[in-house]
């Protein structure tokens, strides 16, 4: 699936739900150790695995990508990819990527973090 397979409102609802859970520290995203190609983060929930990444293309610029995989119990064990959502600079998927990156870096409230660093908070 790509963004075109889902209504934009569904993409926004999924991204907004992941952002809300991330902002409440209910999801703990981890960075992939090998980020030689794309900057990528992952989190698992009871039923799904989520991967969010940023890729740079010299022709299209930066794009964020969200992959959603359905977890499958043993004995099958294999997870099944059910969606790949992507978007550019103003997309819900890019907003999710930005929130995930900041949380992974420990910057939950960027404004407060910057003002405190400057001695103005």
pLDDT (0 to 100) of residue 41: 94
pLDDT (0 to 100) of residue 34: 66
pLDDT (0 to 100) of residue 1: 40
- Measured CA to CA, the distance from residue 79 to residue 96 in angstroms comes to 23
- Measured CA to CA, the distance from residue 44 to residue 38 in angstroms comes to 19
pLDDT in tens, the chain (121 residues): 444 578 889 999 999 999 999 999 999 999 987 655 668 999 999 999 999 998 876 666 778 999 999 987 666 677 888 999 988 888 999 999 999 998 988 876 777 878 888 888 7
pLDDT (0 to 100) of residue 35: 56
pLDDT (0 to 100) of residue 2: 44
Whether the CB-CB separation of 2 and 81 falls below 8 Å is answered with no
- Report helix, strand or coil for 22: helix
């Amino acid at each position: 699936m790509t963004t075109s397979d889902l209504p934009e409102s569904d993409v926004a609802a999924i991204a907004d739900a992941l952002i809300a859970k991330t902002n409440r520290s209910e999801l703990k995203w981890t960075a992939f150790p090998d980020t030689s190609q794309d900057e990528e983060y992952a989190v698992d929930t009871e039923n799904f695995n989520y991967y969010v990444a940023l890729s740079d293309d010299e022709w299209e610029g930066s794009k964020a990508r969200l992959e959603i995989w359905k977890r499958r119990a043993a004995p099958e064990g294999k997870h099944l990819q059910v969606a790949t959502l992507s978007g550019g600079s103003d997309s819900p998927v890019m907003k999710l990527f930005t929130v995930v990156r900041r949380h992974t870096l420990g910057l939950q409230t960027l404004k407060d973090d910057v003002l405190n660093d400057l001695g103005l908070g």
